[in-house]
Amino acid sequence: MHLLRRPTFAAPAALAALLCSASAGTLRAQNRSPEALPVARYFAGPFADPIEPRMSIGLLVTNLLSNQGDEREPFTLPDPQDSESDWQAAANIGGTIPLVRFAHSEHGGFLLVAQAGVHARFRIEYPSRDELSTDWIVAGALEYAHDNLSGRFRLSHRSSHMGDEFVVVSGADRVEFGGEAFDLNAAWTFADIARVYGGLTWIFRSYTRHLQPLVEAGIGDCCTAQLGADGAWHPFPNRHLELVAGLDWQIAERIRWRSYTSLAGGLTYRAGARSAGFVARLSTGRSALGQFYNTPERAYGLEFIATF
């Protein structure tokens, strides 16, 4: 008997109502004109989320190719003995641009932003530098903050592509992963020590749900959920130096509510809104790569990250 049910959306509606009610008093006190291209952010993207748009380049070791998920027909690697510890480069190009701030005060405000990001992985041990997966995210979002409460309501498009070199050497078929979605994330900051967050995503148009493995199993691609915590601390005499860390956990209907977990931590140098530093990352569970969305993966590595 099929036990998976299409989830209801009472929780996202309740979360949206909470944000709106909490902001009502703030908006009554704010009568300022909209401000174009402000230097402001009201919701920081989850720090440990592996596909959150950012600018970075990293080196990692992964066992992604040692097991094959059911996303596609089995494929053959020319070097199966090396797949348990495969060295890969990860490149992330993207970020968030504040567009219009509608209202603000010393307590917070509302901000319209645009996001774009590309996350790509390459097998750098080989002359062809085989590209495994490139995941694209394009989004528009409304950020909100009032004292310790913050949130983000986002409309996004995501797609994933496999490199020609990897297709040629392995015979792997590209899968049609992606779609359009609304997501709602809310966060609470505890006395500037750390932030906890949680959110739900409703995928209102999914390309992935038409894939044969999901159709045969009667599994949809309607929802994902996310929980996590992150923060930045200044234990050094030089206040520009920050210790940063985060934990991110996600589940999805398309992977039968299995999860993937990501940890990140490192040291950055911050000057105003700009920062740069090195971050160690560890991930386990189902892969965050769209082309391998149901493949188990354990990966760890080091990343140089910058914000502008």
pLDDT in tens, 41-58: 999 999 999 999 999 999
Residue 46 forms part of a structural domain: no
Per-residue confidence (pLDDT) for residue 192, from 0 to 100: 80
Q: Please determine, for residue 14, whether its predicted confidence score (pLDDT) is greater than 90.
A: no
Is 76 inside a domain boundary? Answer: yes
Of residues 9 and 94, which shows the higher confidence score? 94
State the DSSP string of 72-120. Answer: SS----S-GGGGGGEEEEEEEEEEEEEEEEEEEETTEEEEEEEEEEEEE
| Residue 47 within any structural domain of the chain | no
Query: Does 115 reside within a domain?
Result: yes
- Mean pLDDT in residue range 173-178: 96
Judge whether 17 lies within some domain.
Answer: yes
Q: Domain count of the chain?
A: 1
Whether 4 maps to a domain, the answer reads: no
Look at 32-36, 67-71, 287-291, 304-308 and tell me which has the smallest mean pLDDT.
32-36
Query: Is 251 part of any domain?
Result: yes
Separation CA 90–CA 117 (nearest Å): 13
* Residue range of the domain that includes 159: 10-40+54-307
- Residue 21: inside a domain, yes or no? yes
Instruction: State the pLDDT confidence band at 7, using cuts at 50, 70 and 90.
Output: very low
Q: What is the pLDDT of residues 182-193, one digit of tens each?
A: 999 999 999 888
CATH value at residue 86? 2.40.160.40
Q: 4-8, 16-20, 226-230: which range is least confident on average?
A: 4-8
**pLDDT for 114-139, tens place per residue?**
999 999 999 998 888 999 999 999 99
